[in-house]
Structure 1
Amino acid sequence: MYPDLYKGLKLRPKDLGCYDSPLIGFNGKIVFLKGQIELPVQTGSKVMEVNFIMVNAHSPYTAIVVRPWFHAMGDVPSTLHLKVKYLSGDQQSKVSVWSTEVVVGEARCKELKIVVIGTDEDNFFQVGVQLPPQEKEELVVFLRRNIDVFAWNAYEALRVDPNFIFHHLNVNPSAIPKKQSPQRSSKEHFDAVREEVTKLKRARAIKVVFYLEWLANIVDVKKKSGKWQVCVDFADLNKACPKDAFPMP
């Protein structure tokens, strides 16, 4: 269990019991644990007391459960589908690993109604038809009143202030920059690349750079729809970037 979940459950530090064994992280460093606590966990109609170990470290997850819990609950995890299936009475249910929403039986898609906002028919919202008429009307009025905060395509989205957050590549300083040999493309590929580059420049996602230290070729992949997906061969650059250790679910 990580601090975000522990604080969210409004648990106090004195609720933790003693736990002396250290934990070795994926990066090889020793993480000293804050303690352990026993909490009831409900999955469907089944409730079981589970011992959680409090780890005082940053993680994209709130908690991680291990195989003994799956065995005790009779669950079937799938790392491929990121789902956990369990038996609830005479029905088979499933729960997503990434959310707390439980889907029992077959999930049904709600009916949605398209509501056009403004004069452009391509700009619309989808509102559930199950909403009460008054609530639906208030929702549409609210959306129209705040129409200026929505971006209808990537080029209308505001840029993020670099003083708030920015991304940089963690390139190994000892790595030698590589320039891939240029490859000729057919006219069909060239037109697809030019169109994609124009879009990215309009969105200010890329800019022209001279005296390149790294040079990678463009790779075109044809989708099932018949359109071309433009990718970049970053194989050499990926090799020069150290891999970060991260916990697996």
Structure 2
Amino acid sequence: MSFNEEDARGVKQPHNDPLVITLTIEGFNTKRILVDNGSSTDNMHLPAFQHLKLDPGRLCPFDSPLVNFNGDRVYPKGIVTLKVTVGTYPRQLTRQMDFLVVDCPSSYNVIIGRPTLNRWKAATSTYCLKVKFPIEDGVGEVKGDQVLARECYQVVLATKENHTWTIEEENEDKVKALEAVELVKGETAKMTRIGTTLSPEMRTKLIQFLRENLDVFAWIHEDMPGISPKVIQHKLNVDPGRNPIQQRQ
């Protein structure tokens, strides 16, 4: 999959518009869908869920809150699996997708994040305002609506709306449930964490076991000799025909 100037035809340049597309969700054409590579969740806002006339009984419980970079939290109403079609016939893709249904103000109906983009194996271009995805016999695509994107973005600016969310995987209680333990006395760099809920006897045995097996810990790169390049290696994308030159600092 690749993008060129032909893909940008019809897009008014220059621009910094978001990528807003239309998808078919449960058989209904659904507009105002933001493609957000920064979001680790796929969200559907409650009014869109209600306008699609979906049965609330399809919502499954979801206990973890969503947080954004401002630290704002919102608890989803639940998670729902819906049939989503992207692209136009015959170059389209239909998949069952999971959406977190959230009740908070938004100028968008749906936020498509990395889970769906990865499921589609999609590539996005904000310059071309287009999403491309592989299908069995080629490549499908869906083009963004620049006019609608600008309308939505004006609302975002006016309301300081947040739309990039991530699932809160760790809370303060979990952090407090761990304590740092020095495995080598006097060397603060060689520490690990163990649970604070262990019994005194189990805690003593665990620390003793960890200290007796210090050789399995890798504190620095030199502690990991003999790793096969088949496992992992770092490469520089440089022209092998060029001689390396050390530049002045």
TM tier, smaller:
0.3 to 0.5
TM-score (norm 2): 0.38
TM-score (norm 1): 0.38
More relative contact order, 1 or 2 (CA 8 Å, 6+ apart):
2
